[in-house]
Structure 1
């Protein structure tokens, strides 16, 4: 595991990269072929992003 990201600018960059990866994954999924597991994985990624946002908010600088 990497070291904690403490700088706000680095936190924003991290979140933007994760969000862009999520959007790429979302674009790659064909709605007609999406399965429940695909939707569950997308929800899990969103939950992880939300958790990371809360972690960054609560981290003292």
Structure 2
């Protein structure tokens, strides 16, 4: 994942992979054990995805 992604197909695949990682994290969470730090990490993951989308749209 360290290489630059330039073509649209690779960008979409990158975003799909990151979104799947996000979904796996959510699926693995136990609502009874989730704390504020966990929620902050989820928000950061969403922020990172949003930033990548904006970068790819340019």
TM range (shorter): over 0.9
CA RMSD of aligned residues (A): 1.2
Secondary structure, counterpart of 2:21 in structure 1: helix
RCO comparison, higher one (Cα < 8 Å, 6+): 1
CA–CA distance in 1 between the matches of 2:3 and 2:35?
A: 35
Structure 2, gaps ≥5 residues long: none
Q: Deviations over 1:10-57 (max 9, x none)?
A: 000000000000000000001111000000000000000000000000
Which structure: larger Rg? 1
TM-score by length of 2: 0.94
How many equivalent pairs are there?
58
Q: Runs of at least 4 residues of structure 1 off by over 6 A?
A: none
Normalising by the residue count of structure 1, what TM-score does the alignment of the two structures yield? 0.89
